Chain A
Amino acid sequence: EAQVTQNPRYLITVTGKKLTVTCSQNMNHEYMSWYRQDPGLGLRQIYYSMNVEVTDKGDVPEGYKVSRKEKRNFPLILESPSPNQTSLYFCASSYRGRETQYFGPGTRLLVL
């Protein structure tokens, strides 16, 4: 089944404790992206990757890192999480950036 998977789905952590949210797609998509969703603000793009080893900042990249070493995986790294990064995070992929995006189920993060 074609899908985008994210892990973990729920995470509670404390300020400053490094964490990684994994994202994997099995559709051989070139483009992958991370978004965060906050009430009243819609989805805002954090980082995106147009292909392996090619990443670029989205609209809200501060406090986040990403890497794209393999086509299927695009992990999101929070080196020192802060409470303002409490949010619902979505990974998405597509053949090309401007085409239909396929979303993962989301990761709900709470930073205390």
Chain B
Amino acid sequence: SQQGEEDPQALSIQEGENATMNCSYKTSINNLQWYRQNSGRGLVHLILIRSNEREKHSGRLRVTLDTSKKSSSLLITASRAADTASYFCAPSNDYKLSFGAGTTVTVRA
């Protein structure tokens, strides 16, 4: 399985600081996706990075992908209280995504 494993499990930061979380996976992938989940709600897609890309930006989000190390990172810059959520990486191959247990991010005012 190419299930993603996020690290750390939990992260607490001050508003305005940056938050970085990492994802590792085991097998080759077509792309890797990051999702956000606010408490108990459905997941919302944040960004998709393909296996031939190394870095991608979307607003305050920056994602990197290192296929040689089978790892990815998600950076949220200038965090806000609304960024408080769980973040999941989902390595994707063929016809499925495999989610990890997520990183819970708390942004303190």
**Alpha-carbon distance between A97 and B98 when the two chains are bound, in angstroms:** 11
In terms of DSSP, what is the predominant structure of the interface of chain A?
strand
A33 CB → nearest B CB, Å = 7
The residue in chain A whose Cβ has the minimal distance to the Cβ of B101 is A42
Q: Could you tell me which residues of chain B, from 25 to 67, have a CB within 8 Å of some CB in chain A?
A: 30-31, 33, 35, 40-45, 48
Range for the number of chain A residues in contact with chain B: 20 to 34
Contact B30 A98 (CB under 8 A): yes
**Alpha-carbon distance between A84 and B80 when the two chains are bound, in angstroms:** 37
The residue in chain A whose Cβ has the minimal distance to the Cβ of B30 is A98
Known interface pairs A41-B101, A98-B31; A103-B42 also in contact (CB < 8 Å): yes
B94 CB → nearest A CB, Å = 6
Contact A33 B96 (CB under 8 A): yes
Query: Is A102 close to B, CB under 8 A?
Result: yes
The residue in chain B whose Cβ has the minimal distance to the Cβ of A42 is B101
Taking Cβ atoms with an 8 Å cutoff, the residues of B that contact A are 1, 3, 30-31, 33, 35, 40-45, 48, 88, 90, 92-102
